[in-house]
Amino acid sequence: MSGRDSKLTKKIAASAIFIAIGLALAVPNPFIYIQIIGAKIYPFAHMINAMTGVLLGLLFSASTALGLATLRFVLALGSPYAFPGHLSGAIIVGLTAYYLQKKIPQKIDLAALTEPIGTVFLGATIAYLIGPLIGLSPNWDVILLFGYWGSWALSSILGCVFGYIIIKALKKAGISREDFI
């Protein structure tokens, strides 16, 4: 197996493991998620976005987010809002990690902390806009948008900080982006 095939295999395996961890942590428990405005606020999804965006890159981070959102939704462990929430955060972390890898590689771990930008400003705004289409949040009140932003920010900030701390711990253990990319 060539080095390239080996890294692809590692990425696929790591993505599957992250999906499994995210699903295991999604089991309904009042200490893991909070229900607000039809969304299940779930910091562990953001933690996984932060970690996969930095460690696996944009494509595998987005794929992991989509896989986790799909399974959470199908198994009724998440709402339809899992899709814009998971994907937007994962994409922003993946893009930021790519940029930092090119410009300031020693600071790539900081990409994990950009997850709230995607989740809050993109994901929550998309959720607010599609809410009426899926039978949720039928009024278009700006106060409601700020409610989405605030609740998603709490979850996202907590999750990305967890992810950043774990990335730092993995780095001390000798596991970094270079093992996958």
Q: What is the CATH number of the domain that holds 74?
A: 1.10.1760.20
pLDDT on residue 64: 98
Report pLDDT for 159.
93
Residues 73-91 pLDDT 10s: 898 887 888 899 899 999 9
Percent of the chain predicted with pLDDT > 90: 57
Number of domains into which the chain is organized: 1
Please give the pLDDT value at position 104.
97
Q: What's the whole-number average pLDDT of the chain?
A: 87
Cβ atoms of residues 78 and 26 within 8 Å:
yes
- Where are the alpha helices (H) located in the chain, listed in sequence order? 3-25, 43-55, 58-74, 82-103, 115-116, 125-130, 142-172
* 102-106 mean pLDDT: 96
What residue numbers bound the domain in which 111 lies?
3-179
16 falls in which pLDDT band (50, 70, 90)?
Answer: very high
Q: pLDDT tens across 39-77, in order? A: 567 789 999 999 999 999 999 999 999 999 999 889 888
Range with lowest mean pLDDT among 9-13, 19-23, 29-33 = 29-33
